[in-house]
Amino acid sequence: MFRFFHCLPTLFCVFALASQIFFSPDAAAQLWSRTNGPTERSVYALTTRNDTIYAGTAAGIYSSVDSGSSWRLLAFGKQTISAFGEDFSGKFYACPHSAGVHSSEDNGETWQPMNNGLPDGATVYALAQRNFVMLAGADTGGVYRTSDGGLNWKQTKLNSGWVYALISKPNTGDVYAGTFGGRAYYSYNSGEDWQRVDSTLIMQTEGRPVRTLLYFGDYVYAGVAGSGVYRTNDTGKTWQMMNNGIGVPDIRALAEHNGVLYAGSQYGGVYMSRDSGMTWKQTVAGMDVLKTRAFAFVGARPFAATDGGGVYICDLSIPMGVEEWNNAEIAVYPNPAPEKIYIDIQLNAPVLCRLSLYSALGERVYANAEFADGHFSASIDMLQFPAGTYYIEISDGLRRTVRGFVKN
């Protein structure tokens, strides 16, 4: 027997207790929760490979194969890690402070320095890969380029300044770079030639550091320390401020996953946007350390790296920045569901319904969208999925609701 209790606040949480699922308003504070590590709580870089999470900390690289339940120190136990990367062959890269670039071909178990052509003692803050080319942004000498898997690096024509951020556009040679002095550069040929594209950006940011860059859709987004989020769709000729809803615009990280934008603020925690950055909502419930430095994703599950709080994991059963869909009549049956689960929704207006099915680990295993004129119905064949707890999410982009059930 399952009972569903709808709480009044926008946020709610699903608890699975024995054979019942309860919605608890008191649990709304646990949107984010700390993982069990790493031991070093200052985390500056985060990435995933084959569902393993790698955390670059102030004291080495840690890995977790169980979504943060346990962590293991891999390497560089006394060094700060500033960036991770991966090249066309799948080779794994890490950037320890004052030690250039190192590579691993065994998922981080062993590492080799790859610094021929890089300045001695350089700290690399950003890596970007495009086909056979890897670019490195350093604290001295600008951007360096390799086309042989890191065996040899060559300084590019962006040959001065402290480069904090690099991003390459899929399926093109377009690359952007952001610097400590607030400058933005653009390359159309994978980093060989560069031009400044920050005239309208610097006017707005007063030269504050460009700490992170992101490609999404037709736009390039720049996260600027002390100034917020900006975007361009004309190769940097114009930049538009996108800070609606960002209360603390000291941006250190940008990421996108499943069409949702994430911004990490130095003192404001995590902001999230479902409309390409037009509006943002702060989503920090459960975070007791807000200095957010990086994001990574395992399946649909978001992870956030913080400076002082380790790595946090997000509970996908809680709506993040989206109103609960209170005026829709929704039925999910039978429960338990041995073979099929049926969904029926009665609506008071035509709407595009998006239906998603998540496993108990937060992985989206099914998705569908259909325009509904007053009524939406669907069914999912559950025979293809193992037994366990699942969550149905129904959303129109502005509102959503979640229902839990068991597949036996």
Handedness of CA 350, 351, 356, 362 (dihedral sign): negative
How many percent of the chain have pLDDT more than 70? 88
Predicted local confidence at residue 321, as pLDDT = 53
- Enumerate residues 6+ apart whose C-beta is below 8 A from 265: 246, 248, 249, 250, 251, 252, 271, 290, 292
Report residue 110 CA to chain centroid gap: 26
Beta sheet of 81-86, edge-to-edge order: 81-86, 92-96, 102-104, 112-113
Relative to beta strand 52-57, strand 60-64 is antiparallel
Pick from 218, 224, 226: nearest CA to 198: 224
For 196, the token pair is 């400044």
pLDDT at 3 exceeding the cut of 50: no
Which CATH number among 3.40.50.970, 1.10.1060.10, 2.130.10.10, 3.20.20.70 corresponds to the domain 32-314? 2.130.10.10
What's the average model confidence in pLDDT over 14-35? 44
Query: For residue 191, which of 159, 151, 216, 150 has the smallest C-alpha distance?
Result: 159
Banded model confidence at residue 7, pLDDT cuts 50, 70, 90: very low
Confidence class for position 360, pLDDT limits 50, 70, 90: low
Among 4-8, 139-143, 322-326, where is mean pLDDT lowest?
Answer: 4-8
The average confidence (pLDDT) of the chain is 86
pLDDT for the residue 75: 96
Residue found by looking up tokens 């839990």 in the block: 404
Please give the structure tokens belonging to residue 404: 């839990």
φ, ψ dihedrals at 19, nearest 5°: -105, 20
Whether the pLDDT of residue 340 is over 90: the answer is yes
**Class for domain 322-407, per CATH?**
mainly beta
Which pLDDT tens digit goes with each residue over 165-218?
999 988 888 999 999 989 999 999 999 999 999 999 998 999 999 999 999 999
Binned at pLDDT 50, 70 and 90, residue 355 comes out as confident
Query: What are the extents of the domains in the chain?
Result: 32-314, 322-407
Query: In the predicted model, is pLDDT for residue 245 greater than 60?
Result: yes
Name which of 382, 378, 394 is nearest 337 in CA terms.
382
Has residue 255 got a pLDDT over 70? yes
Q: Which of 59-68, 251-260, 347-356 has the lowest mean pLDDT?
A: 347-356
